């Protein structure tokens, strides 16, 4: 698997449970056009709802945009009603999957251990992984941010061999910033990213830690993207709400492209 070039930014659009087939078609068509001049300098993915994956995949084919799914089962197959396996995702053209999103951790009561199992099966099937970690407001207030992130990342990467790490990127998503309009400050996000990078260094080695892309997620929009990306520790964004509007997502892509070109090699 290819190793990330951590200088190059990655922007993911997490559509969550939004849109219709028609609205998603319009959004994707506009995104493909907006992404075309930026594809040489930024990596990007759309994380579409399951029913639209194949259709969206057919629209983005050849554009360089990656097809992402928002969820995957920890099981390979069998009597797991309502779940979707990594093999099935791969079969319909999915390249990358979100694992450990705080909404799934909370609403579906996904444990650290289950998330680790999902990461393992996704990687062994050949999918790339967008691993989400992040603390609640209460945890931040009580000074536990780094410990919570360390616990989450250690459990998620348990048993993951160094050779597979090139297919993983981390999204630091403080839960209090998701969907609230209250982004972390660029400085606070950078501190958490640096701590996560140190965790990866402790779990693996310094060169892998340096090469692992760490994205920020939590109320990223067209107004705050440039200042977030001014922090070299921030190598992209996982975007929820603002990814549903092509003009906003395109603006974030442009900010990422500009940040990439201004960073030293």
Binding site for ligand PEP (CB under 6 A): 14, 173, 178-179, 217-220, 238-242
Q: How far is the CB of 105 from ligand PEP (least distance, A)?
A: 12
Q: How far is the CB of 248 from ligand PEP (least distance, A)?
A: 10
Round to whole Å and give the CA distance between 94 and 92: 6
Q: Which of 4, 101, 164, 193 is flagged as catalytic? A: 101
Round to whole Å and give the CA distance between 239 and 249: 8
Query: Taking a C-beta distance cutoff of 8 angstroms, is the pair 213, 191 a contact?
Result: no
Is 101 an active-site residue? yes
Nearer to ligand PEP, 165 or 177 (CB): 177
Nearer to ligand PEP, 61 or 182 (CB): 182
Where does 157-197 show beta strands of DSSP type E?
168-172
Nearer to ligand PEP, 205 or 237 (CB): 237
Query: Taking a C-beta distance cutoff of 8 angstroms, is the pair 249, 34 a contact?
Result: yes
Give the tokens for residue 87. Answer: 């093999």
Nearer to ligand PEP, 168 or 210 (CB): 168
Q: How far is the CB of 174 from ligand PEP (least distance, A)?
A: 10
Of 158, 200, 70, 248, nearest in space to 233 by CA: 200
CB-CB neighbours of 143 under 10 Å? 8
Q: How far is the CB of 178 from ligand PEP (least distance, A)?
A: 4
CB-CB neighbours of 195 under 10 Å? 17
Q: What is the DSSP track for 64-123?
A: SPEEEES---SSSSSS-TT---HHHHHHTT--EEEES-HHHHHHT---HHHHHHHHHHHH
Is 173 an active-site residue? yes
Nearer to ligand PEP, 34 or 252 (CB): 252
**Closest residue to bound ligand PEP by CB:** 240
Q: How far is the CB of 173 from ligand PEP (least distance, A)?
A: 6
Active site residues: 101, 173
């Amino acid at each position: 698997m290819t190793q990330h070039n951590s200088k190059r930014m990655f922007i993911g659009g997490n559509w969550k449970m939004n849109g219709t087939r028609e609205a998603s078609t319009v959004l994707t068509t506009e995104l493909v056009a907006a992404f075309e001049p930026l594809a040489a300098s930024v990596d990007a993915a759309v994380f579409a709802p399951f029913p639209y994956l194949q259709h969206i995949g057919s629209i983005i084919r050849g554009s360089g945009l990656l097809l992402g799914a928002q969820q995957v089962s920890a099981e390979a197959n069998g009597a797991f009603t309502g779940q979707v396996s990594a093999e099935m995702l791969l079969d319909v053209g999915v390249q990358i999957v979100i694992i450990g999103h705080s909404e799934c951790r909370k609403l579906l009561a996904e444990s650290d251990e289950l998330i680790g199992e999902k990461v393992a099966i996704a990687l062994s099937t050949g999918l790339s992984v967008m691993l989400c970690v992040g603390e609640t407001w209460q945890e931040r207030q009580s000074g536990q941010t780094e410990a919570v992130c360390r616990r989450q990342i250690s459990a998620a990467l348990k048993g993951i061999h160094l050779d597979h790490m090139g297919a993983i990127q981390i999204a630091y998503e403080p839960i209090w910033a998701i969907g609230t309009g209250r982004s972390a400050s660029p400085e606070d996000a950078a501190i958490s990213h640096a701590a996560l990078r140190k965790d990866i260094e402790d779990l693996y080695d310094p060169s892998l830690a340096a090469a692992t892309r760490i994205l920020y997620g939590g109320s990223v929009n067209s107004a705050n993207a440039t200042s977030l990306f001014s922090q070299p520790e921030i190598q992209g964004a996982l975007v929820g709400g603002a990814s549903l509007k092509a003009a906003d997502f395109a603006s974030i892509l442009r900010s990422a492209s500009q940040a990439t070109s201004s960073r030293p090699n």
